[in-house]
Structure formats: C-alpha cells, structure tokens
Amino acid sequence: MSTASLLDDPDLAGRIRQMDREALAAVVDAYLDQVVRAARGAGLDRQQAEEVAQNTFATFVETAPRFEGRSHVRTWVFGILYRKIQEARRGFAKDRRMDDIDEVFESRFDPTGSWSRPPQGPDDDLFAKEARQEIGDCLEAAPEQQRMAFLFREVDGLSTQEICKILEVSATNLGVMLHRVRNRLRDCLETKWEQA
C-alpha cells in the first residue's frame, strides 16, 4: 500500500495504537519534510531542526499506543513538534496580552476608522519581489509563537482548528496572533522599503 493510501486507511488510528510498523513508517514518510521545514521556520539551524525532528518522531512512536484518532494524525505530530521547538528554544516567547504592534496598527487609522496613514510601498509586483528578498529577516524579528502560527497557516496550510490544537490557543487568540504577525511583517517590509 502506498504511503498516501495508508494514511487514508479508516483504521489508521487503530494501526498506530497497535504500533503497526508500516503505519508508523507511513506517518514518518508523510510528515518528515514538513516537520523539518517547520522547525527551520521556527528559527532553528539545520542540525537543531533535524534533532527536533528526530525527537518529535521518537515521542510520536512512544505515545502511539495512546493515539485515539480524535484529531488528525498530522495535528498530533505537529503538536509534539511544537513542544519540542519550545524546549529547544529556551525562553520561547508566547504571545503577550499587550503588543506594540497593536498600537502601530491603531495609529494608522483616524477616529472614523479610515486610513490616516495608508499602506505604503512599491507597486504590487515590486512589493512581491521585495517581500521574497526580505521576508527571512522580518520573520526572524517576529515573536516565536506568532511566527509559528503564521507559518502553520501560510506554509503548511493548516486549518484554524488544527493550529489552535497545536498551539493550545483559542480561535480568537489565533486571530489576534495572525493579525499581529502579518502587520508586523508588513510593517517591517514597509520600513525597509522606505529606508532603501
């Protein structure tokens, strides 16, 4: 059976619980690249990212007998990954109640809610080009939890429900985090463009 069809097996959760080697290997094959990429996106270097990936799947295998299948196996794996990243980066900053970027956002509107300082930047094509060149720097400057939320959404294409389970936050909270990180990234690019 191919990896893809194995993952669609209705009894996948059962097979994982029974430590069926074929099923566990299929999960590793399906998510290894994504897990390494997400760890890299979290700001870990290549070696750290591989260690984190190794630890993530080690914990996945250890905890497999407890997998109930209530959430997607990917959500389970990414939840483990997220905790491993937190461990690897001591002092991992969770999203705060107050954030400077909120004020920056507020300051761009007049009291009626219209733009008082509209978004700046070159035209769309140039902006996209600049974004490709500078996004790495801007991402590095963003708080960890916000950055993970953003990458899970934009790069891994995970659903709101999945990301909330992985990060252990409410949907409202996730909305606030995405709002903050996108404005922070946009602001960072805008500032770079204005200074250039």
Partner 1 sequence: MPTCKEVSRSIAADELSTAGWRQRLSTQIHLLMCRHCRRYSRQLRAIGEAARNLLSDTPQDPGSRERLRSSILDQIPSGTQKNSDPRV
Q: Does 127 bind partner 1 (CB under 8 A)?
A: yes
Question: Which span sits near partner 1 by CB under 8 A: 73-81, 82-90, 92-100, 124-132?
Answer: 124-132
Q: Are 189 and 108 in contact (CB under 8 A)?
A: no
The verdict on 41 binding partner 1 (CB under 8 A) reads yes
Judge whether 72 and 164 are in contact, CB under 8 Å. no
| Sign, Cα dihedral of 137, 92, 80, 73 | negative
Q: Do residues 16 and 22 touch, judged by C-beta distance below 8 A?
A: no
Which C-beta is closer to partner 1: that of 7 or that of 26? 26
195 makes contact with partner 1 (CB under 8 A) = no
Among 13, 74, 95, 153, indicate the residue that binds partner 1 (CB under 8 A): 153
Name the one range near partner 1 by CB under 8 A: 68-76, 82-90, 91-99, 173-181: 173-181
Residue from the set 13, 44, 139, 148 that interacts with partner 1 by CB under 8 A: 139
Residues that bind partner 1 (CB under 8 A): 1, 3, 18-22, 24-26, 28-29, 32-33, 36-37, 40-41, 46, 50, 53-54, 57-58, 61, 105, 109, 112-115, 118-119, 121, 124, 127-128, 131-132, 135-136, 139, 150-151, 153-155, 160, 171, 174-176, 178-179, 182-183, 185-186, 189
